Every structure is written in C-alpha cells, then in structure tokens.
C-alpha cells in the first residue's frame, strides 16, 4: 500500500486531480490518498495558501500528486507553487514533451525532455525599488545548484537511454551568471562521455524548437528559461492540457504536477482537459515501480486520443472533463 499526498489546488485543479485519482483507482494499485486543501480559499481561512500540514505530509510520504494553485499577479502573496518547491527542496523539474497518437500538430517526431532548475535564478523573489520608477530584480545563480541540475540531467539521460543533453543559456549577455551555469554543465558533461553534449543560446533554441524540434533530446536550463521554453514545448505537442511534469528533490521526494496553471477562465465548468494530470499519475505509478499500471494508463490515454471522438475543447472537441476521464478508464479495461 502506498500513501500519496493529494493536493487538489484551486481553479481547475480539483477537477483534473479528481480525474487522475479515478484513473489511478481504476488500475487497482493500492494507494491511500492524504488529501489537503490549498489555494485561495485556504488563504482566506488560515492566512496561508499552503498550511504546514501539507509540507509535513509530503515530507512523510515522499510522493505527492498536485493540482495547480493560483498565484495572484502583480500583488498579493507569493506563488505557493514556488514556495512548495523551495521548502521541499525540489530542485529539478522534469517536463517531457512528446507527440501523442491522434493529436495532430504542426510537428512530428518531438520527443524531448526539459530539465528545469527549480530553486533559484530570477525566482529568488529578491526585488526592490531603487528609487521610484526604478526596480531591481536579482538573478541568483550558484555553482552548487548548477552542478546539481547538470548532474541530474545527465543522470536522467543515462537512466532513460537518451543520447544528448543540450545546455540552454544566454551567456553571451549574462557572462557571469549564465557563464557559471555553462561552466558547471561542461564540468559535469566530462563525466558522461557516452552522452553527447551541446550548448545553445536560448533565443536560438526557441527558433530551432519551432523549426526542427526533433533535433532535441534532453535539455537543461535555468529556472526562467525553463518556465518559458517548456510552455513552448507543450505547444509543440498539443498544448498545456497534455503535458505532465515532476518536481524532484535531493532526497528523492517527488511532487507530480501538470505544466499548466489553474486556468481560472474555465474553472468549475467541467471543461478542463484532465490528460496532463492523468499523465502525471502515470509518471508517478512508474516511479513507484508500478510499471504495468503506468503503461495501462498511458495506453488508455493514447487510445482515446487516437480514436479522437472524446476530446475536451482545447483539443477541438466538446467533451467534458468527466467524459474524457470515463473514456480513458473504459479504454484501459479493453
């Protein structure tokens, strides 16, 4: 029996998390869910969007499945999603982007993984007003975190039989910070002669991603580039409704969450695509050693997408979240 912390979050979070739970339950892998509310309403009740009991539960269980939590834009409390990553020391964000059967996109042959550094860079939240009208934001890059993420990317490549790691940077402009990041990647690359290593400037990376995405394999980058580039990669394979991710900590804690946010524009209407979170659940099952259950979930998703009859609006269909979930569960049983 596994115990998994479940954080439905807010916005479309509860809808897509519920869908993923139903799919996992259909695999009959014995999982006990420890469910915790988090987000805007919790903030109103307890004065924090993410109470301590949530952290304690993840620390205890080492595995969590999480829906998105809304971050107020411009003002208000800082991102609970970032707070969770920081407090649990989840330094690596793994975001695979792969063409899915039946999802027609402009690109074929996309099968890449963005490894995003999760703990520093411009996300350090160090901003201040120098004088009215002038603001300074600090970008923090450390040798320790850069070596750690580079090592993680190469280890990931070896473990998953991947051939190449691309370090993405802007060291021509940010010579010290991105220069340090690159230097760390180079040092680590020397330990993995069996994996090809290349460096690419972030703007060129974006251009090549939309012209020749099939040339990419594992990509490693700082936090902000990772945020932007991985959304771009989600777009290559059909959008945010389809892309899962895992946040991994130094001591093996993993929090699985979709790349998408809380999508307030469609929240509470049973319109959200649950597939990203269902694929997160498949990643989770695989990491728990339940490989055949993970495969069954993926097969269910692939079958429903290939048939193309039951799809949410983001994929051009008119099905609800519940209908897509039902179809996936039915397809898993075939």
- Contact between 93 and ligand ATP by CB under 6 A: the answer reads no
Closest CB to ligand ATP among residues 37, 227? 227
CA-to-CA distance for 244 and 259, rounded, in angstroms? 6
How many chain residues bind ligand ATP (CB under 6 A)?
A: 17
Closest residue by Cα to residue 164 from 189, 201, 191, 181: 189
Closest CB to ligand ATP among residues 166, 273? 273
Closest CB to ligand ATP among residues 162, 239? 239
Could you say which of 167, 266, 293, 331 contacts ligand ATP (CB under 6 A)?
266
| Residue 123 known to be catalytic | yes
DSSP bridge pairs for 256? 65, 246
Could you say which of 99, 205, 243, 273 contacts ligand ATP (CB under 6 A)?
273
Cβ–Cβ < 8 Å for 148, 215: no
| Residue 256 known to be catalytic | no
Q: Which stretch binds ligand ATP (CB under 6 A): 53-61, 129-137, 158-166, 272-280?
A: 272-280
CA-to-CA distance for 332 and 329, rounded, in angstroms? 5
Could you say which of 65, 219, 263, 301 contacts ligand ATP (CB under 6 A)?
263
CA-to-CA distance for 227 and 222, rounded, in angstroms? 9
Smallest separation, CB 264 to ligand ATP (Å): 7
Q: What is the largest CA-CA distance in the chain?
A: 65
Smallest separation, CB 152 to ligand ATP (Å): 22
Residues 209-248 that bind ligand ATP (CB under 6 A): 240-241
Catalytic option among 10, 121, 217, 227 = 227
In what order do the strands lie in the sheet containing 63-66? 31-35, 2-7, 63-66, 254-258, 244-248, 92-98, 111-117, 218-221, 164-169, 196-201
DSSP symbols for 264-278: GGGTTTT-S--HHHH
CA-to-CA distance for 98 and 234, rounded, in angstroms? 9
CA-to-CA distance for 68 and 272, rounded, in angstroms? 12
Closest CB to ligand ATP among residues 125, 289? 125
Closest residue by Cα to residue 334 from 18, 3, 5, 26: 26
Instruction: Let me know if 44 is exposed, middle or buried by CB neighbors in 10 A (0-12, 13-18, 19+).
Output: exposed
Catalytic option among 86, 170, 256, 314 = 170
Smallest separation, CB 262 to ligand ATP (Å): 5
Smallest separation, CB 183 to ligand ATP (Å): 30
- Contact between 265 and ligand ATP by CB under 6 A: the answer reads yes
Closest residue by Cα to residue 306 from 113, 99, 111: 99
- Contact between 262 and ligand ATP by CB under 6 A: the answer reads yes
Residues 6 or more apart in contact with residue 173 via CB below 8 angstroms: none
Binding mask 51-90 for ligand ATP (x = CB under 6 A): -----------------x--x-------------------
Helix (H) / strand (E) containing 169:
strand 164-169
Catalytic option among 123, 156, 225, 256 = 123
Residues 142-181 that bind ligand ATP (CB under 6 A): none
Place of tokens 């979240």: 321
| Residue 52 known to be catalytic | no
Q: Which stretch binds ligand ATP (CB under 6 A): 96-104, 261-269, 299-307, 326-334?
A: 261-269
Chain residues binding ligand ATP by CB under 6 A are 12, 16, 68, 71, 240-241, 260-263, 265-266, 272-273, 276, 312, 314
Which positions are annotated as active-site residues? 123, 170, 203, 227, 231
């Amino acid at each position: 029996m596994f115990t998994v912390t479940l954080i439905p979050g807010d916005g479309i979070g509860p809808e897509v998390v519920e869908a993923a739970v139903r799919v996992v339950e259909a695999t009959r892998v014995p999982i006990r869910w420890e469910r915790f509310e988090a987000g805007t309403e919790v903030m109103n009740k307890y004065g924090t969007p993410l109470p301590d009991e949530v952290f304690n539960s993840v620390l205890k269980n080492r595995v969590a499945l999480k829906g998105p939590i809304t971050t107020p834009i411009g003002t208000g409390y800082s991102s609970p999603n970032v707070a969770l990553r920081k407090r649990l020391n989840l330094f690596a964000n793994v975001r695979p982007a792969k063409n899915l059967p039946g999802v027609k996109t402009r690109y074929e042959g996309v099968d890449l993984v963005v490894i995003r550094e999760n703990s520093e860079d411009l996300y350090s939240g160090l901003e201040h007003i120098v004088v009215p009208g002038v603001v300074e934001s600090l970008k923090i890059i450390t040798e320790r975190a850069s070596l750690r993420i580079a090592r993680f990317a190469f280890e990931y490549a070896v473990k998953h039989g991947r051939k190449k790691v691309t370090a993405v940077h802007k060291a021509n402009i940010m010579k010290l910070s991105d220069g340090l990041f690159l230097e760390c990647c180079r040092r680590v690359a020397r330990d993995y002669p069996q994996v090809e290593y290349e460096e690419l400037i972030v703007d060129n990376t974006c251009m090549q991603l939309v012209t020749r995405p099939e040339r990419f394999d594992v990509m490693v980058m700082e936090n902000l580039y990772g945020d932007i580039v991985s959304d771009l990669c989600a777009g290559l394979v059909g959008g945010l409704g389809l892309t899962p991710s895992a946040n991994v900590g130094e001591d093996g804690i993993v929090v699985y969450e979709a790349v998408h946010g809380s999508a307030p524009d469609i929240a509470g209407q049973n319109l959200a695509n649950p597939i990203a979170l269902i694929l997160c659940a498949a990643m989770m099952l695989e990491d728990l050693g339940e490989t055949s259950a993970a495969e069954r979930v993926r097969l269910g998703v692939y079958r429903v997408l290939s048939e193309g009859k039951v799809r949410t609006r983001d994929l051009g269909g008119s099905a609800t979240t519940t209908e897509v979930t039902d179809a996936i569960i039915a397809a898993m049983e075939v």
